């Protein structure tokens, strides 16, 4: 039996793109040749700017995006699921075991359904429970775990604040008793005080229910706080990956360094030490050759400037991987 719950092997995701019906078909390389192993019971963080392919990778792992090449293996207790080669029956099984929590708790909940119906829907759709009584029991159980008031189950989502709504989304994701959760920017829309509450809840549920998380976020301080392992993405590539403390204490890649320095410091006397990155993330339609980051790199080497170095991760310390271009 493997320690890993998810193995992502050489996964690429491309989208077809055609500007208008007479122009040439192009490919958008959203995710390029990604290898990650997510250990059972870990809190795996994925950070990067918008457009770096975080969400696409998360969705690919859930089977919600088509994988163009490579494969994703989900190691269950008794069997392995290969996502690229799955029949309908398996996909249904997999959906019970892997769930998604969305970013915006206002958009994710139907305004016309009561909280009870929202949480119960996955159970009914996946035919997990057989009677209404059983469904109600499960709903009440998970609602209590997510610290929702049982009396609130009859209300509609509009009556709740952002933090409470996010707890409802979490309850819905967890009701089918999944093992793997993708949390896509799940605290980005919340105020700091509520954000702390939801993060603590996710942590607590992890140990209670034996969950493994893929936590997607653009906020490095949040990721540093909750995640065990972090991968930094840029333009569809992982540029650095490692245990979160090691990675944040000792970042090797210039992109990670720049991201870390861009976090506004809470100390008014430490103003503006940010390594300012010029410009913006290039289009995935026309990515730079060689190192994807070279067009914005603050201190590019001679070799990588020309785009001659291929991208690929090298292990610099046990478990700490950095893109080759920045190691040299």
For the chain, the first-to-last Cα distance in angstroms comes to: 37
Query: Segment near other proteins (CB under 8 A), from 2-10, 59-67, 155-163, 204-212?
Result: 155-163
Tell me whether residue 199 or residue 309 sits nearer to other proteins (CB atom): 199
Beta-carbon contacts of residue 70 (< 8 Å; ≥ 6 apart): 8, 9, 10, 11, 12, 33, 34, 84
Is 130 near other proteins (CB under 8 A)?
A: no
**Residue 257 lies near other proteins (rule: CB under 8 A):** no
Residue 151 sits in the site that holds other proteins (CB under 8 A): no
200 binds other proteins (CB under 8 A): yes
Q: Which of 26, 65, 71, 262 binds other proteins (CB under 8 A)?
A: 262
Both tokens assigned to 328: 């040299």
Choosing from 208, 264, 285, 319, the residue that interacts with other proteins (CB under 8 A) is 264
Show contacts with other proteins in window 34-93 (CB under 8 A).
Answer: 49-50
Q: Please report whether residue 266 would count as binding other proteins according to CB under 8 A.
A: yes
Residue positions counted in the chain: 328
d(CA 325, CA 237): 13
Measured over the CA atoms of residue 244, residue 178, residue 62 and residue 280, the dihedral's sign is: negative
3-state DSSP assignment of residue 281: coil
For the chain, strand residue ranges (E) read: 4-17, 26-39, 43-47, 69-75, 80-82, 98-101, 180-184, 212-217, 229-234, 237-243, 313-317, 320-323
Q: How far is the CB of 209 from other proteins (least distance, A)?
A: 20
Tokens matching residue 324:
């080759």
Cβ atoms within 10 Å, residue 20: 5
Asked if residue 265 binds other proteins (CB under 8 A), the reply is yes
Q: Interface with other proteins includes 119 (CB under 8 A)?
A: no
Residue span binding other proteins (CB under 8 A) among the ranges 37-45, 106-114, 219-227, 319-327: 219-227
Binding mask 224-253 for other proteins (x = CB under 8 A): xx-------------------x--x-----
Binding test (CB under 8 A) with other proteins, winner from 175, 214, 260, 304: 260
Binding residue for other proteins (CB under 8 A) from 103, 195, 212, 254?
195
**Number of helical H runs and strand E runs in the chain:** 11, 12
Within a 10 A sphere around the Cβ of 76, how many other Cβ atoms?
A: 15
For residue 269, state whether it binds other proteins (rule: CB under 8 A).
yes
Q: Which is nearer to other proteins, 94 or 234 (CB)?
A: 234
Contacting residues toward other proteins, per CB under 8 A: 49-50, 161-164, 191-197, 199-200, 218-222, 224-225, 245, 248, 258-269, 271-272, 274, 276-277, 280
């Amino acid at each position: 039996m493997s320690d890993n719950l998810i193995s992502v092997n050489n996964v690429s995701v491309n989208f077809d793109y055609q500007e208008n019906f007479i122009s040439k078909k192009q490919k958008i390389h959203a995710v390029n040749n990604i290898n990650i192993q997510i250990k059972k019971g870990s809190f795996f963080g994925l950070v990067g700017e918008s457009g770096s392919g975080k969400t696409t990778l998360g969705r690919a792992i859930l089977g919600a995006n088509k994988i163009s090449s490579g494969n994703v293996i989900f190691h269950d207790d008794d069997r392995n699921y290969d996502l690229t080669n799955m029949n309908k029956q398996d996909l249904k099984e997999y959906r019970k075991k892997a769930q998604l929590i969305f970013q915006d708790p206002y958009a994710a909940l139907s305004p016309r359904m009561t909280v009870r119906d929202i949480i119960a829907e996955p159970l009914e759709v996946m035919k997990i429970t057989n009677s209404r009584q059983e469904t109600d029991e499960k709903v009440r159980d998970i609602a209590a775990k997510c610290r929702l008031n049982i009396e609130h189950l009859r209300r509609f989502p509009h009556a709740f604040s952002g933090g409470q709504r996010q707890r409802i989304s979490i309850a819905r994701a967890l009701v089918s008793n999944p093992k793997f959760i993708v949390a896509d920017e799940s605290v980005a829309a919340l105020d700091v005080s509520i954000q702390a509450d939801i993060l603590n809840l996710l942590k607590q549920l992890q140990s209670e229910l034996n969950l493994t998380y893929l936590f997607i976020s653009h906020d490095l301080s949040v990721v540093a706080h909750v995640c065990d392992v972090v991968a930094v993405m840029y333009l569809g590539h992982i540029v650095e990956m490692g245990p979160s403390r090691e990675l944040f204490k000792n970042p090797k890649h210039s992109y990670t360094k720049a991201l870390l320095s861009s976090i506004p410091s809470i100390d008014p006397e430490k103003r503006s030490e940010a390594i300012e990155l010029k410009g913006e993330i290039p289009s995935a339609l026309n990515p730079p050759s060689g190192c994807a980051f070279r067009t914005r790199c603050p201190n590019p080497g001679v070799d990588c400037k020309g785009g001659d170095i291929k991208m690929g991760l090298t292990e610099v310390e046990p478990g700490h991987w950095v893109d080759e271009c920045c190691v040299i």
